[in-house]
Amino acid sequence: MLHKMRLALPSPSPLLVLAPLALWGCAGLREQRALVSSLDREVLALKVQNELLNERLKTCATDEAAPALYAELHQLFSDTTLSVRREGAVVVLLAPNDALFVDGGVRLHPDSARTLDLVATSLGLHPEFNLLILSHTDDKLPPGNQAKGYPSVWELSAARAAAVGRALTDTYGVAPERLTIAGQGGFAPIADNSTPEGREQNRRVELRFVPAPRKEPSP
């Protein structure tokens, strides 16, 4: 009788039998998902690193050209009041304001012709560089008619940069797309504006030879 009763007991549900397998399968899927997420992050990091390397390769040629351009400009302007310095791949020709402009205004000085001619020649010899013309003033507008029509030193500095840019394109044949003009007014002083000497140092134009964007070859 007991034997028959045991035979009559119901068999375990298939769902109960498969439950441990299902739980094990979900745990395995979670581990695989975590692994995939980790690999995705590594792939993304490699992509970013590859992009940075590509950008660095684009400037390698200019990094090598910068010392040559620096040496040329240093030799060309060694007997003038202009100075030359390097900032990595950028070469900066620093011109005092009175070397370019008449009486603190925006009219170019006749003696600026030699400077602008040499700048244009250097751009022609180095197509891997463009030119940023960045003009600075001291913290006050000049007296008299020099600043007439300019509400602040910001507009005055921009007008001076534009005057240099126009001369380079109109007189010396520099392609305008190779030039960028900017005026920073008196907001980036390099000396104390409380003294005449300091104010004179702050009135300046930076002619910055910057690496030109690399043109990608057509597919």
Could you tell me which residue, 39 or 4, shows the higher pLDDT? 39
pLDDT of residue 2: 45
Q: Phi, psi at residue 65, to the nearest 5°? A: -80, -25
pLDDT of residue 5: 47
3-state secondary structure of 1: coil
Model confidence at 211: pLDDT above 80: yes
CA 149/CA 152 separation, integer angstroms: 9
Residue 33, judged by CB atoms within 10 A of its CB (0-12, 13-18, 19+), counts as exposed
Q: In order of start, what are the domains of the chain with their CATH numbers?
A: 61-211 (3.30.1330.60)
CA 201/CA 173 separation, integer angstroms: 30
**Residue pLDDT, tens place only, 26-63:** 667 777 777 777 777 777 677 766 666 555 555 444 56
Half-sphere exposure (Cβ direction) of 170: Cα atoms closer than 13 Å: 7
pLDDT of residue 4: 47
Question: pLDDT above 70 covers what percent of the chain?
Answer: 77
**Residue pLDDT, tens place only, 92-121:** 999 999 999 998 889 999 999 999 999 999
**Residue pLDDT, tens place only, 124-156:** 999 999 999 999 999 999 887 777 889 999 999
What number is the average pLDDT over the span 82-86?
A: 97
pLDDT of residue 31: 76
pLDDT of residue 14: 55
pLDDT of residue 19: 53
pTM strictly above 0.75: no
